Amino acid sequence: HGDKCFGDDRAIRTGWAKLDAHKVMVVGHQKGKSLKERNICNYGYAHPEGYRKAMAKMRLAAKFNMPVICLIDTGGAYPGIGAEERGQAQVIAESMYEMSRLPTPVVCVVIGEGGSGGALGLGVGDRVAMLEHAYYSVISPEGCAGIIWKSHSFKERAAEALKMRSKDLVRFGVIDHVIAEPLGGAHRDHNLAANRLKLYLRNTIRELIAKPIDILLAERYDKFRRMGVFFEGGRLVGQSDPNEPNQTEASSDSSGGVPHSKPHYLQETIK
């Protein structure tokens, strides 16, 4: 129960599930519906014990060769003094590290808020997707405006600068796919939104389980190492020489597989 160290955290839920013929482990944030439930779930702001619980369940899934599905919906990790004393920053970093080397397919989907380290703690996977109107950012627009412009009135300007929308993030290669929402948003038609999410998960898991684990891990590593590519003074920064084979290509060659090309956004940048 819980993290077997301090206690349980209702802001993160875990459980076995079945998606078509595949048994999977589902890990996700829970905000609650009623005011009472939201207080119990801390409005989705997870404590360190929540991430420790999630890591334990993901390791268990890997032991039985079951894919992991992470559903992200949080404004961030809880920043209280108790959480900090119990190692909030350290446990988020540990969770990201564990997910980066988990020997089973991992699919992450931002279904609402994707706030800061709280989202990143469950956001390292072979595929990362977002609902169309979700957001994924290192900080909230209000927090960014307060730090940079010393006033929350600049939150719209901060939101534009953060490039937190799905259409921007897929263009930058931070996420891999945008799941279209029903007209007016996912909350207007829960069944249609859930079916579209299910279709994406079904197709993605089918694709990932067909890959050897060593290739899967190499591609996952390479995917996140590529992030942060930009031009400075006419030179590509954030990536080694583009003419050199990347981590995935080297791993694929050594295992006898077919080398994988650089993703479309990096190819466009290099051109």
Q: Where are the beta strands (DSSP E) in the chain?
A: 12-19, 22-29, 68-74, 106-115, 127-131, 135-137, 177-179, 230-232, 235-237
CATH code for the domain in which residue 108 is found: 3.90.226.10
Instruction: Tell me: do 65 and 152 sit in the same domain.
Output: yes
Domain-located, residue 54: yes
Instruction: Tell me: do 180 and 130 sit in the same domain.
Output: yes
Instruction: Tell me: do 33 and 155 sit in the same domain.
Output: yes
Amino acid, res. 21: A
Instruction: Tell me: do 138 and 99 sit in the same domain.
Output: yes
Amino acid, res. 129: A
Contact 204, 127 (CB under 8 A): yes
Instruction: Tell me: do 263 and 145 sit in the same domain.
Output: no
* pLDDT tens track for 161-207: 888 999 989 888 899 999 999 999 999 999 999 999 999 999 999 99
Instruction: Tell me: do 121 and 236 sit in the same domain.
Output: no
State which of 164, 182, 210 marks the end of a domain. Answer: 210
Show the domain range for 92: 12-210
Instruction: Tell me: do 49 and 135 sit in the same domain.
Output: yes
> Which pLDDT score, from 0 to 100, does residue 245 have?
45
Instruction: Tell me: do 127 and 253 sit in the same domain.
Output: no
Domain-located, residue 2: no
Domain-located, residue 222: no
Domain-located, residue 221: no
Q: Is the four-CA dihedral 147, 151, 157, 160 of positive or negative sign? A: positive
* pLDDT tens track for 3-24: 778 888 889 999 999 998 899 9
Contact 100, 162 (CB under 8 A): no
Contact 245, 62 (CB under 8 A): no
DSSP per-residue letters across 117-134: HHHHTT--SSEEEEETT-
CA atoms of 32 and 38, how far apart (whole Å): 4
DSSP per-residue letters across 183-217: TT-GGG-HHHHHHHHHHHHHHHHHHHHTS-HHHHH
Instruction: Tell me: do 238 and 204 sit in the same domain.
Output: no
Phi, psi (degrees; rounded to nearest 5) at 110:
-85, 115
Query: What is the pTM for the complete model shown?
Result: 0.81
CA atoms of 127 and 198, how far apart (whole Å): 14
State which of 159, 176, 210 marks the end of a domain. Answer: 210
Instruction: Tell me: do 138 and 185 sit in the same domain.
Output: yes
56 to each of 1, 98, 167, how far by Cα in Å?
Answer: 11, 10, 33
CB atoms within 10 A of CB 270: 13
Name the domain count of the chain: 2
Instruction: Tell me: do 169 and 65 sit in the same domain.
Output: yes
> Which pLDDT score, from 0 to 100, does residue 220 have?
95
Instruction: Tell me: do 30 and 153 sit in the same domain.
Output: yes
Domain-located, residue 117: yes
Domain-located, residue 70: yes
> Does the pLDDT at position 62 exceed 60?
yes
Give the pLDDT band (50/70/90) at residue 69. very high
* pLDDT tens track for 237-267: 665 444 444 433 433 343 343 334 444 433 3
Amino acid, res. 261: S
Domain-located, residue 16: yes
Q: Which two tokens stand for residue 177?
A: 């796919």
Secondary structure of the chain: what % helix, strand, coil (to 5)?
A: 45, 20, 35
CA atoms of 163 and 7, how far apart (whole Å): 36
Cα 21 vs. chain centroid, distance in angstroms?
24
Domain-located, residue 156: yes
State which of 164, 180, 210 marks the end of a domain. Answer: 210
